[in-house]
Structure 1
Amino acid sequence: MSINEILQNMSRRKMIGQGVYRRVYDLGNGYVLKVAKSKAGRRSNKKEVKLYLSSPYRVRKYLGKIVGFKEDYSSLIMKKYDQSIPETEKYRAKCFKVTRKFRKKRIFPYDIIHRGKPNPRNVRVKPNGRIVVIDYGNFKDRR
């Protein structure tokens, strides 16, 4: 199913999240659709797509997988990650370690850590235990 077909059937989609600039819908097939509400939302989608496609594997493996997007960046499809990040010292340390890995590649992450703890709105855990950032539209890429 193409992204255009998905957008035509939006009335059947369940909204699972919303930010200032974008809405997130569950597609029911293991993927989510992020739809921009404004120009700033399109910029966030564009930044996520460009960052995902241009990042080296060392950091891309920590980014939510993008599988499709509209050329005007009004929407994108990302793999859905359900498992919330546990509030443990182990995962807190993992988040700080991932932040350092991004910074070494001159990518400056925001909202991975919030008030000294992993941000549960933006960080999830893959089945293999690796953390994954699901919202990286506000990262700064200085490469």
Structure 2
Amino acid sequence: MGKIREPNKGKKIIGIGSRRIVYDLGNGNVKKVAKTKYGVLSNRREIVTYRSSAPSVRKHLAKIIESGDEYKWITMIRYNREFPKTKEYHQKLYRLWGKFRKNGITPYEILTRQGRPNYQNMRLKQNGEIVVIDYGNFRFRGKKG
């Protein structure tokens, strides 16, 4: 993918996956930069899912501010509040999973294969709502019926 670190020099890396690097821009936002063609696909999938989702679902997806260079990077709001390890929030997450499904989204990686929350992909907004910060593996089909 070339020199991905150069334009982000001096920015703090807060996450490294097999497909993307996440930088803290220091202004309340993060920048996800693709490392591979699959990272570009993940960025594109997040943009399409975010823009195509109903508002009732979109509010649970990390807000995308901008993107560029043919999906090689996207800027999103940074959410810092950790997802609580409580029964109440587990139940809220299961309901959210169903809401995604009902709205034509297969929400991969918010639950583990054992059905437990995937804590690294979720945070809370200031109002306590669950927000998914990594939805690059979601599948968007559109609403049924």
Q: Same fold (TM over 0.5)?
A: yes
Report what 2:52 is aligned to.
54
Aligned position for 1:135? 134
In structure 1, the partner of 2:40 is 42
Secondary structure of residue in 2 paired with 1:47: helix
Which whole-Å CA distance do the structure 1 matches of 2:115 and 2:101 have between them? Answer: 17
Secondary structure of 2:9's counterpart equals: helix
Q: How many residues are treated as equivalent by the alignment? A: 137
Match of 1:109 in 2: 107
Aligned AA (2:125): K
Mapped to 2, the partners of 1:22 and 1:28 lie a distance apart of: 18
Q: Which ranges of structure 1 fall in alignment gaps of 5 or more residues? A: 1-6
TM-score w.r.t. length of structure 1: 0.92
Matched, 1:123 2:122: yes
Identity %: 47
**Displacement of 1:100:** 0.4
CA distance in 1, matches of 2:74, 2:11: 15
Amino acid in structure 2 at the alignment position of 1:90: E
Paired residue for 1:27, among 9, 25, 28?
Answer: 25
The normalised TM-score by structure 2 is 0.91
For 1:45, the aligned partner's letter is N
Please list every run of at least 4 consecutive aligned residues from structure 1 whose deviation after the TM superposition is greater than 6 angstroms. none
Q: What one-letter code is carried by the residue in structure 2 that aligns with 1:135?
A: D
Give, in angstroms, the shift of residue 54 of structure 1: 1.1
Structure 2 unmatched ranges of 5 or more: none
What is the root-mean-square deviation of aligned Cα atoms in Å? 1.2
